[in-house]
């Protein structure tokens, strides 16, 4: 194998494929990246572990077609320090030589015969706008759990219903939901078996995938009962699904009679950060809404902080709620709008945050006991 390629193109391709490599693995070849120089002027870089796979194709000047398997993270470290400009990669005996400018590196080859076959993509189900999908995943993933002893709660629910895609995540204390449009493949049908249209994807993996594909335009989504895949602009990636289902959000989000408070989002974020500096541990930030203002307060006894902001409350004369400040900031940060609405039942009850009527993005928080 021998090829020539621009250093920035090689670095980006290696970095993209290396995302799926395990930090540690008892199987050495799973720490490898497979480089395939093809006769059609493309370099294919592939990586995988037992949970996910990634493959990218970029243009390269192939001198001699061939394949090489090398330690992926070591190759990435080399790529990051290569001089800008053309790079030559060539197999020389039992190593891969990487030359850029006056710099030359040698990497030991790993045994190709021990490397697993890349998993095939599941059946294509439809197309989604990559930028909109990345935004939606980012909005809900903040609510996913971090406790690996409850694996299903570390995932994002992805449900397909006709031309609507629903993404949702919860850690039992908050619940984020986002809907967006997508275009089903004509041959896939709009619905299928429950395991095919309502699945749970690891939140960390899905976030990485969505970010990496954000500029890819239209992305094709592939799905079956055990894995999910995405393909766009020379890239292809898969990840295994999580077993189980997230609790349904329909009844939780049906608040019935409630008050609604509207306030500007950015000043509220700044105020929460400001007053929360005196909050110790998980002590809450209190929001006391009245007809034309919200009064924020945090802390106890002599260590207290407060701030007043304009707000508009309808449906009640006053409502006081309190939230974990980290959870509240995560929720507010997931919106990109100038203002937000709090749909409030009262102290110690759930509260729904939206950016308006009929909102596609909704974030539910549990209110805790207000400050005395």
Determine, yes or no, domain membership for 119.
no
For the stretch 326-347, pLDDT in tens is 999 999 999 999 999 999 999 9
Q: What is the pLDDT of residue 273?
A: 96
Determine, yes or no, domain membership for 247.
no
What is the Rg, in whole angstroms, of the alpha carbon atoms belonging to the chain? 25
> Which residues 6+ apart lie within 8 Å of 244 measured at CB?
151, 152, 200
CB 63 within 8 A of CB 2: yes
Residues 152, 231 share a domain: yes
Residues 206, 102 share a domain: no
Q: Is the pLDDT of residue 193 over 50?
A: no
* Residue 179, CA distances (Å) to 13, 60, 132, 140, 198 in order: 31, 39, 10, 10, 14
Residues 138, 31 share a domain: no
362 three-state secondary structure:
strand
- Banded model confidence at residue 192, pLDDT cuts 50, 70, 90: very low
Q: What is the percent of the chain with per-residue pLDDT over 70, rounded to a whole number?
A: 97
Beta-bridge partner residues of 205? none
Residues 227, 317 share a domain: no
CB 148 within 8 A of CB 338: no
Q: 293: burial class by Cβ within 10 Å (0-12, 13-18, 19+)?
A: middle
Q: What is the pLDDT of residue 339?
A: 96
- Banded model confidence at residue 372, pLDDT cuts 50, 70, 90: low
For the stretch 344-370, pLDDT in tens is 999 999 999 999 877 899 999 999 887
Tokens of 104: 């030359």
> Which residues 6+ apart lie within 8 Å of 160 measured at CB?
125, 126, 166, 182, 184, 190, 191, 197, 198, 223
Which of 100-114, 193-207, 265-279, 295-309 has the lowest average pLDDT?
193-207
How large is the average pLDDT for residues 203-222? Answer: 93
Residues 54, 13 share a domain: yes
Determine, yes or no, domain membership for 248.
no
Domain total of the chain? 3
Of 192, 209, 240, the last residue of a domain is: 240
Element (H, E) at 91: strand 86-92
Determine, yes or no, domain membership for 57.
yes
CB atoms within 10 A of CB 301: 5
For the stretch 43-69, pLDDT in tens is 999 999 888 999 999 999 999 999 999
Residues 274, 225 share a domain: no
Strands 2-6 and 32-37, bridge-based pairing = unpaired
- Domain housing 283: 255-366
CATH number, residue 333: 3.10.150.10
For the stretch 153-191, pLDDT in tens is 999 999 999 999 999 999 999 999 999 999 998 865 444
Determine, yes or no, domain membership for 323.
yes
Q: Is the pLDDT of residue 196 over 50?
A: no
Of 191, 217, 240, the last residue of a domain is: 240
Question: What span, in angstroms and rounded, lies between the C-alpha atoms of 143 and 100?
Answer: 44
Residues 310, 224 share a domain: no
Higher pLDDT, 27 or 317: 317
Nearest-CA neighbor of 76 among 32, 22, 24? 32
Residue pointed to by tokens 């619905």: 191
- How long, in residues, is the chain? 372
Residues 295, 202 share a domain: no
- Banded model confidence at residue 302, pLDDT cuts 50, 70, 90: confident
Determine, yes or no, domain membership for 249.
no
Question: What span, in angstroms and rounded, lies between the C-alpha atoms of 199 and 223?
Answer: 9
Element (H, E) at 47: strand 42-48
Determine, yes or no, domain membership for 16.
yes
Which of 134-143, 181-190, 213-222, 325-334 has the lowest average pLDDT?
181-190
Of 53, 81, 114, the last residue of a domain is: 114
Determine, yes or no, domain membership for 25.
yes
- Banded model confidence at residue 300, pLDDT cuts 50, 70, 90: confident
Nearest-CA neighbor of 217 among 231, 228, 203, 205? 231
For the stretch 69-116, pLDDT in tens is 999 999 999 999 999 999 999 999 999 999 999 999 999 999 999 999
Beta-bridge partner residues of 127? 183, 220
Tell me the pLDDT of the chain averaged across its residues: 92
Residues 100, 186 share a domain: no
Residues 192, 93 share a domain: no
Residue pointed to by tokens 């970010």: 211
Question: What span, in angstroms and rounded, lies between the C-alpha atoms of 224 and 208?
Answer: 20
Residues 225, 131 share a domain: yes
Q: What is the percent of the chain with per-residue pLDDT over 90, rounded to a whole number?
A: 83
> Which residues 6+ apart lie within 8 Å of 206 measured at CB?
137, 141, 155, 156, 158, 239
Residues 359, 266 share a domain: yes
């Amino acid at each position: 194998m021998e090829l020539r390629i621009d250093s920035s193109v090689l670095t980006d391709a290696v970095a993209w494929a290396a995302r799926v490599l395990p930090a540690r693995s008892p199987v050495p070849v799973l720490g490898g990246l497979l480089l395939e120089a093809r006769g059609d002027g493309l370099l294919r870089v592939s990586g995988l572990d037992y949970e996910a796979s990634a493959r990218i194709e970029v243009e390269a000047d192939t001198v001699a077609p061939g394949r090489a398997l090398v330690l992926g993270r070591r190759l990435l470290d080399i790529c990051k320090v290569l001089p800008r400009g053309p790079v030559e990669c060539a197999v020389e005996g039992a190593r891969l030589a990487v030359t850029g400018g006056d710099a030359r590196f040698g990497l030991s080859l790993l045994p190709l015969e021990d490397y697993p076959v890349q998993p095939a993509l599941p059946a294509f189900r439809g197309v989604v706008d990559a930028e909109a999908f990345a935004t939606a995943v980012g909005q809900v993933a903040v609510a996913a759990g971090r406790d690996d002893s409850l694996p299903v709660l570390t995932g994002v629910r992805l449900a397909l219903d006709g031309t609507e895609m629903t993404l949702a995540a919860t850690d039992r204390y908050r619940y984020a939901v986002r809907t967006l449009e997508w275009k089903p493949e004509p041959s896939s049908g709009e619905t299928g078996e429950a395991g095919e249209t309502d699945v749970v994807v690891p939140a960390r993996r899905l976030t990485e995938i969505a970010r990496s594909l954000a500029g890819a335009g239209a992305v094709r989504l592939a799905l079956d009962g055990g894995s999910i895949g995405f393909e766009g602009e020379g890239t292809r990636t898969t990840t295994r699904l999580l077993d189980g289902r997230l609790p349904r959000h329909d009844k939780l989000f049906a608040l019935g009679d409630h008050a609604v408070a509207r306030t500007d989002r950015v000043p509220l974020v700044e105020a929460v950060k400001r007053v929360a500096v005196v909050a110790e541990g998980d002590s809450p930030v209190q929001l006391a809404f009245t007809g034309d203002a919200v009064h924020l307060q945090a802390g106890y006894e002599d260590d207290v902080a407060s701030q007043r902001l304009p707000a508009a409350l309808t449906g009640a004369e006053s409502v006081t709620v309190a939230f974990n400040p980290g959870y509240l900031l995560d929720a507010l940060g997931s919106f990109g709008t100038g203002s937000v609405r709090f749909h409030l039942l009262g102290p110690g009850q759930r509260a729904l945050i939206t950016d308006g009527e009929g909102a596609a993005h909704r974030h539910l928080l549990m209110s805790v006991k207000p400050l005395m």
